Amino acid sequence: MKNILVLLVLLAALAGASDVVNANVATDLVFSEVLSSNITGRSVMVLDRVLPEGTVVETWHDKVTVPIDGYLVLIDDMAYANWAHPCRWVFVGLNGDMEIISMMTPPAVLGEMTVTHSCLPESDGKGQYEDFLLWFTPNVQSTAANAEHMYAWIISGGANEFNNHTRYYGDVQFIYNVLAHDYLIPDDHIIVCFADGLDPAADLSNGLNSNPDFDDDGDSDIIYDATASGVTSGYNDINAMVGTDDHLFIYTTDHGNSTKGGFDVPPDVVLNLWNTQLLDDDTFKGYMDSLSALSAHVVMEQCFSGGFLEEVVNAGASQPRTFASAANATESSWAGATYPEYDEYVYYWTGAMHGSTPPATSVPGGNLPGDPDMNSDGFVSMYEAAYRAKEWDTKAQSGDEHPMWDDTPGGCGDSYWLGGIITTGIGDSENPLLPLTAGLTITGNPVTSVSTVAFTLGSPGDVKIMVYDMSGHVVENLLNDEFAAGQHSVNWSAKGLAAGVYIIRFTAGDIMESVRAVKF
């Protein structure tokens, strides 16, 4: 990798201001002179030894040459965010001179640094494992028959022990239990690549080792480490297992980065793996394009995660796909109000799929802020979970992060959930679940004034079509009548409705189907 020095600023006004006799003096000088004693949203830490001028200090993928004899003080300017995000390496000379280098990742010696000032609450020294299990009660929403065709691949690298935070374990434990115990996906259908895998050494930033048994059932749920080779092994397993009748869910958390201006391009964005290795977007696209799954669904928490959207949702996709991310392609993602236990976006995404959330610092957990089943069809779709996560994520609402969503073909996110394709029961049939077959469509979408809603009936029956807003309230009873077999349509006037997203739900006997309409 190229050596990168981003911004050098010499604070000449402080030259010779005081003798810096130890690390505490250095960090106090930075706190008062650089930060004006304002620690809001920040953390400050110091390396307790003098670094000679010319020493090379590594970060995850870059190197910085020490400009003056002195101490290294790190200002983390976005302490609640995941890396990569803006920070400042302040080199404090022994005579009080300071030089600042703007960076996006911490120094490799982070584990040797001492926190001196911080806005973050003090750690309780515990992991997430026991507290989560005390809270979690399965909320069974699918069937074992559905689950036989469901697979999941979970990746969380965490970069290294000093940056693999408790919240990444919390994110993974939550989604794993939801997949295994709410949606009944078998253990051997869930491939987890996490940090250092089954190595018993400490791998979390609080000094603990990750418990590989997420649900306390006596077996290891972590299959591989999250190094490049471990992720490759995870992919090989998934690719060998998932067939043309199966649905795949992919979930990633921890750190991400942009390669623009920092690494060779392409690729444009990366997911950080264990030992600061990388999974780039081009490699991920290769994984996606080689899948033979019936459908594929991706949820990403890491910084710059929106940069993976085009690798998932594109014109060349070989199956229906959905994509949801906590951030766009140019910004960091945040733990937010759920620090330090969870990352906030996936906390609410997974909570929507489960039906409630665990306690997390300033968030009491329990009941969700609203009903995730916005169209009241009895299923929480991929689209609904993404919409609600964005709506409930405080960092998304404040504008600090911009969650991304897309699907192909457009609107298919309403037809898939963690149980596969949304289906309805048909009594005592040999196959008690059938896919939606009404072929519900809407022309003139986005809608302006009048659009046409069309559907097909295989046999005569009563048809009901309702229009819902995104809060789940009925805004119009569009149709409620008996129809003969064949193709039919009805005009829908959106005149008078506020701009926004609406759900049109079709019901005919045991068949339910919905489409999403947008009014500008």
Tokens 């640094």 correspond to 113
More confident residue, 386 or 426: 386
pLDDT of residue 221 exceeding 50, the answer is: yes
pLDDT for 2 equals: 36
pLDDT at 419: 95
For residue 62, pLDDT beyond 80: yes
How many angstroms from the chain centroid is the CA of residue 289?
21
Give the model's pLDDT for residue 18.
65
pLDDT band at 339; cut points 50, 70, 90: very high
**Which tens digit of pLDDT belongs to each residue from 35-44?**
999 999 999 9
Note the pLDDT of residue 359: 95
For 144-327+403-422, CATH gives 3.40.50
Question: In the prediction, which pLDDT does 260 show?
Answer: 61
What CATH number matches the domain at 433-519, 3.30.2090.10, 3.30.360.10, 2.60.40.1930, 3.40.50.720? 2.60.40.1930
Higher pLDDT, 387 or 469: 387
pLDDT band, residue 6 (cuts 50/70/90): very low
CA distance 157 to 299: 15
10 Å Cβ neighbour count for 440? Answer: 22
- The residue-averaged pLDDT of 136-140 equals 96
pLDDT on residue 510: 65
What is the mean pLDDT of the segment spanning 134-139?
Answer: 96
DSSP 119-142: SSPPP-S--SHHHHHHH------S
State the chain's mean pLDDT as an integer: 89
**Pairing label, strands 474-483, 450-457:** unpaired
d(CA 382, CA 313): 14
Provide mean pLDDT across the span 86-104.
Answer: 96
To the nearest 10 degrees (0 to 180), the angle between helices 344-354 and 166-177 is: 20
Looking only at the bridges linking them, the beta strands covering 423-425 and 433-435 are antiparallel
Give the model confidence (pLDDT) of 246-271 as tens digits: 999 999 999 999 886 444 444 589 99
- C-alpha to C-alpha distance for 431 and 326, rounded to whole angstroms: 37
The pairing of beta strand 43-47 with beta strand 113-118: antiparallel
20: pLDDT strictly greater than 80: yes
User: Six-digit token pair at 123?
Assistant: 């750690």
pLDDT of residue 424: 52
Q: With cut-offs at 50, 70 and 90, classify the pLDDT of residue 13.
A: very low
CB-based contact 191:152 (threshold 8 Å): yes
Q: pLDDT confidence of 514, banded at 50, 70, 90?
A: confident
Res 5: pLDDT: 39
State the pLDDT at residue 487: 85
> What DSSP letter does each residue of 339-366 carry, written as one string?
TTT--HHHHHHHHHHHTSB--BTTB--B
Half-sphere exposure in the Cβ direction for 378 (13 Å, CA): 13
Q: Look at residue 431 in the predicted model and tell me its pLDDT.
A: 35
Q: How confident is residue 61, by pLDDT bands cut at 50, 70 and 90?
A: confident
Domain residues of the chain, as ranges?
Answer: 8-118, 144-327+403-422, 433-519
pLDDT score, position 267 = 58
| Sign of the four-CA dihedral 331, 332, 333, 339 | negative
Output the DSSP codes for 260-329: TTTS-SS--EEEE-GGG-EEEHHHHHHHHHT---SEEEEEE-STTGGGGHHHHSSTT-SS-EEEEESS-T
At 373 the pLDDT is 95
pLDDT at 503: 82
The pLDDT value given to residue 436? 41
> Are 132 and 173 contacting, i.e. CB atoms less than 8 angstroms apart?
yes
Q: Is the pLDDT of residue 432 over 50?
A: no
At residue 109, the pLDDT reads 96
Residue 426 has pLDDT above 70, yes or no: no
Q: Phi/psi of residue 26, each to 5°?
A: -60, -45
Residue 285: pLDDT band (50, 70, 90) is: very high
295-300: strand order across its sheet:
190-194, 150-156, 247-253, 295-300, 321-325, 404-408
Distance, CA of 323 to CA of 206 (rounded, Å): 32
- The confidence score (pLDDT) of residue 322 equals 97
